Amino acid sequence: MNMNGNISVIIPARDEELNIEGAVRSVAAQECVREIIVVDDQSSDRTPEILAAMATQFPQLRVLRIESLPAGWLGKTHAAAEGAKLATGDWLLFTDADTRHFPGSLAALLARAQSGGADLLSISPGQEVETWWEKAVIPLVYVELAGLFRFEDVNDPRSPAAAANGQYMLIRRSTYDAVGGWEAVRGSVLDDVALARRVKGAGAKILFLPGAAWAKTRMYRRFAGMWRGWTKNLFLLYGSDRTKIVTTVLRLFVRVLLPDALLVIFAAAFVVVLSAGAKAWIAAAVVAASALAVYAGFRRYRHELERLGFSGNLAKYLPIGAVLLGLILLNSLWAWRQGGGIEWKGRIYPVKGAL
């Protein structure tokens, strides 16, 4: 396997002054990078200055500045497509500016793709969570997504399921061109999933993996950004299916919040009736059953977190995470059903035609 200089890395960047240097440095340290193409998508912060300074340090770094967004395109798909036009590698790695690549990860994943005959390899990077709201929501979202897009189904050529994570998509250049590249999905908000569907629909092979061992990212640094970001994506990730979203919200309530509420209510009732000298066996039975349900829920959630590379200790945030995720899901449903558009990074994403 020839892996030397085989990959063109493409990083779309819009107002990424906090992230871009770390992303470029982590990619530049990889073994098999032919070139790093950062597409500056009309950044208004210090992103251009940071890239200019880094270009003197890394000769493989190429910076392309975009000054306008053509009609019919969304910002990220356009930036990625423009970067791909400049790329000369046999493989293209599309990755985000907030993603950090661990040493040796790219060579390892390229070898995995080549040995497995994959045309598109995508991973779901490990997620850095620092604030309480990140710890509550982000892990739970990824547990839910792992149920919607099961790795086993996506990787099975016999299954129609297709998915990818835009934070890390390694694709053969020949496959990218054959399926029409980003231009073919230029108006899709879920551009990564849309491209994966075209790849699998063309008979090419997808390898989709949990990726905490190879890369990490911190998606949101502010609560408002997280709220807007998942509002933009969750309705579409649930297949624009109102019933599926409402069912998920009800499931979160019944499986997570209801046992917690019953435990608190009947524990209080147990104390009251016991202090009054009355028989409290009914309240005690409900307390015990609720406690077992809560314990089982936390154990199940802890296992799911660890399978995806999260710390099992984050399971303690499950109740507040269920509340917040339920609200975000309902907000996403409402926003998309209302029509109009959804704001993200200073641009309006139109609802119609963006599914």
Q: What's the predicted TM-score (pTM) here?
A: 0.87
Strand, helix or coil for residue 251: helix
- Looking at every residue in the chain, the average pLDDT score rounds to 88
Tokens representing 19 are 């992230």
Tokens found for residue 129: 């969570």
Mean pLDDT of the 77-85 span: 96
- Geometric angle at alpha carbon 181, from 175 and 185, rounded to 5°: 135
What are the pLDDT digits (tens) for 18-27? 999 999 999 9
The residue among 261 and 73 whose pLDDT is bigger is: 73
3-state secondary structure of 295: helix
Residue 85's nearest CA partner among 177, 151, 22 is 177
Distance separating alpha carbons of residues 143 and 301, to the nearest angstrom: 8
**Among 114-118, 204-208, 282-286, 313-317, the least confident range:** 282-286
Q: Across residues 42-61, what is the average pLDDT? A: 94
Q: Which of 164, 14, 177, 13 is nearest to 89 (CA)?
A: 177
Summarize pLDDT for 94-112 with one digit per residue, the tens: 999 999 999 999 999 999 9
DSSP-assigned states of every residue in 10-58: EEEESS-TTTHHHHHHHHHTSTTEEEEEEEEES--SSHHHHHHHHHTT-
